[in-house]
Amino acid sequence: MEEGISMKSFINKGNRSTKVGFGEGIKYAAEHNDKIIGLGSDITTSVGMNIFSEAFPERFYSLGIAEQNAIGVAAGMALSGLLPVFSTYAVFSSMRTLDQIRVSLCYNNLHVIIGGAHSGISVGPDGATHQALEDISALRALPNITLISPCDSSQTKVATIKAIETIDGPVYIRYGRESMPDFTDERQDFVIGESQLMKEGMDIAIIASGHLVWESLLAADKLKQHGFEARVINMHTIKPIDKQAIIKAAKECACILTAEEHQITGGLGSAVAEVVVKEFSVPMSFVGMPNCFGESGKARDLLDKYGMNADTIFAKAVKLIKRKNQ
């Protein structure tokens, strides 16, 4: 785990979509590995795969709107010694294909990269049917799969490269469409399965993933102005989860708040709670989608309406700190 870094170290370099990081990561890896094959389903530019397909048109195949078939094709390619990367909207790549991922990929432990694009509620105008808020929950129970939820575009690029180069089995990488703060360094020390300590603190541990890492840093800055020091942990890998970082946070901070752009049920919060209950029980609270479907709207407006923002994280953190001190 990295050493604690002050809030001043994290500066928004400009809003940038995580789908760009995903596409850049595939392209970079493909420049060094001719076994990488891209698979699409009539959706290329909107999920970032155009960056790969334009660089390697002879290695990209659009299979039409047939996501379940795409997973079967990817499995066959993997068994033949190729390294397939398949991406489409997360609602389709994770849930429409769940049976194929379970039997064809996970059961055989095949190295296939699945891109879950347009994840979370911040996909915005596409509305409830296209807002993947259950994908982590749907996939987390499957053996052999690795689940990654990077915090920004730069980290998505690094995570994609690492997933291709260092993991043997199936990998699901969750990323978004809308431009969001890009605040990490592409030269970062990124290890799949090891969380990143973004800020030191002992009053509360905020464990976040995806776009809500930035919101958690903003909340931590506000907490500091009110006399509280919050530890912020970027839990970019949901499975395998960094148990030691969670246990350490529980013992040292005595309360944990999780933050994710996903249903509270079954996601990062549930994964952290499973460790806390078993290893070192402390008060917990959760920021995420409150067991409902989303709606069409602007990304920022939806995050605010459903409480997945810095203000909600701050308010729940204060309440949780008071609870632990009672």
* DSSP states along 273-312: HHHHHHH----EEEEEE-SS---SS-HHHHHHHTT-SHHH
Q: Which pLDDT score is estimated for 180?
A: 94
Alpha-carbon gap, residue 296 to 116, rounded angstroms = 19
Alpha-carbon gap, residue 96 to 67, rounded angstroms = 7
Q: Which residues of the chain have pLDDT under 70?
A: 1-9
List of domains in the chain: 7-12+190-324 (3.40.50.920), 15-181 (3.40.50.970)
Q: Which tokens hold the place of 285?
A: 């609270």
| Closest alpha carbon to 84 in 94, 92, 95, 73 | 73
Q: Which pLDDT score is estimated for 5?
A: 39
Alpha-carbon gap, residue 195 to 210, rounded angstroms = 12
Q: Which pLDDT score is estimated for 4?
A: 38
Q: Which pLDDT score is estimated for 11?
A: 78
Q: Which pLDDT score is estimated for 9?
A: 60
- Is 0.85 surpassed by the pTM of this model? yes
Alpha-carbon gap, residue 54 to 66, rounded angstroms = 22
Q: Which pLDDT score is estimated for 10?
A: 72
